[in-house]
Amino acid sequence: MMGPGIAQIFALAARRVTLVGRSPQALERARTTLESNLQAMEAAGLVSPGEGHAALEAIALSTDLEGAAEGADLVVESIVEDLGTKQELFARLDRLCRFDALITSNTSGLPITRIAAGMARPERAATTHFWNPPHLVPLVEIVKGERTSDDTVERLRRLLSDVGKRPVVVRKDVPGQLGNRLLHAITREAMHIVQEGIATAEEVDTAVKCGLGLRFPVYGPLEHADLVGLDLVLSIQSYLLEDLCNRTDPMPILRDKAQRGELGAKTGHGFYDWIAKDPDQVKATRDAFLMARLKDLYPPR
């Protein structure tokens, strides 16, 4: 669930937040997630116990969407990735929210232009795509729809910066936004390498984690291109690009695994044997690494 992590971001920045869920049971799970997140951040020294307690106190849990929407300055939707369901919710929020409230979606790929198609005031709608885990990853992509106003984008950029995030503006409402386009380009080539027997899944992931991944937090691909020289990049691309995978359909190795029910950690097998490999430990290692890096890159307030 992305909702608790997103709520936590604003609560830690001293904003009052209402987290809306479909049922008391869902809200109880959200409360547990919030407590676990904040305890881990306290243990890592990212927040003090007092800040964690204040954040919990600042988050109201509710099943009353109408009541929560009426007084909101910002609504961030984080429901199922289904276009029709999101369109219905946005049309309803458009009626419920104040005229100056901003309404955004956490969608990871659906076009905000289509999500907001049924709104009377689509100029106040945008995507705010938080990256998982949202309370630890600084990036938020603000995607401007075809009818999103410049004022909406600027208000969101200022707000997200104020609560400690690192927003980027995606100026065209394209599939995959910005980050997922980069991610899936890498993922396609990673799967191609495994499929062709060039390297194993473990070796591919090691190359990313111990090479690219260590540089990327402070050294982006275009900075790298400029620093090594665009003439060198041009020379390499002139022979390398033709050998990279350029498929426009899902990779055969991915399709085959999905058809066999090898869906990854949730079924026990994917590119890895998740019976032997503990997914919870992988996530815990990820989060510990992220928290350590956050202390280095963005010292606590």
Catalytic site residue from 77, 106, 141, 192: 141
pLDDT at res. 12 = 96
Please confirm, yes or no, whether 37 is among the known catalytic residues.
no
Note whether 162 and 196 are same-domain residues: no
Q: Which residue has the tokens 């630890």?
A: 136
pLDDT at res. 298 = 64
Q: Could you write out the DSSP letters of every residue in the chain?
A: --HHHHHHHHHHTT--EEEE-SSHHHHHHHHHHHHHHHHHHHHTTSS-HHHHHHHHHHEEEES-HHHHHHT-SEEEE---S-HHHHHHHHHHHHHHS-TT-EEEE--SSS-HHHHTTT-S-GGGEEEEEEPSSTTT--EEEEE--TT--HHHHHHHHHHHHHTT-EEEEE-S--TTTTHHHHHHHHHHHHHHHHHTTSS-HHHHHHHIIIIIHHHTTT--HHHHHHHH-HHHHHHHHHHHGGGS---SS--HHHHHHHHTT--BTTTTBSSSBTTTS-HHHHHHHHHHHHHHHHHHHS---
The angle subtended at Cα 177 by Cα 101 and Cα 87, nearest 5°, is 45
Note whether 154 and 56 are same-domain residues: yes
- Domain tally for the chain? 3
Please confirm, yes or no, whether 180 is among the known catalytic residues.
yes
* Residue stretches of the chain with pLDDT short of 50: 301
In 10 A of CB 38, how many CB atoms? 22
Note whether 159 and 72 are same-domain residues: yes
Catalytic site residue from 77, 129, 135, 192: 129
Note whether 105 and 38 are same-domain residues: yes
pLDDT at res. 1 = 76
What percent of the chain has pLDDT above 70?
99
Note whether 79 and 18 are same-domain residues: yes
Note whether 283 and 244 are same-domain residues: no
| Whole-number Å distance between alpha carbons of 95 and 22 | 19
Is-contact 137 131, C-beta < 8 A? yes
Note whether 151 and 71 are same-domain residues: yes
Note whether 33 and 16 are same-domain residues: yes
At 27, list the tokens. 């809200």
Note whether 231 and 275 are same-domain residues: no
Catalytic site residue from 77, 108, 135, 192: 108
Note whether 241 and 267 are same-domain residues: no
pLDDT, tens digit, 9 for 90 and up, residues 208-252? 999 999 999 889 999 999 999 999 999 999 999 999 999 999 999
Domain span at residue 165? 3-170
Please confirm, yes or no, whether 132 is among the known catalytic residues.
no
At 33, list the tokens. 């997630």
Please confirm, yes or no, whether 141 is among the known catalytic residues.
yes
Note whether 74 and 206 are same-domain residues: no
Give the CATH number of the domain where residue 43 resides: 3.40.50.720
Note whether 98 and 241 are same-domain residues: no
Give the CATH number of the domain where residue 183 resides: 1.10.1040.10
| Whole-number Å distance between alpha carbons of 93 and 103 | 8
pTM of the model: 0.91
Among 170, 202, 217, the domain-final residue is 170
pLDDT at res. 217 = 87
Q: Which among 21, 281, 1 is positioned nearest to 135, based on CA atoms?
A: 1
pLDDT at res. 300 = 52
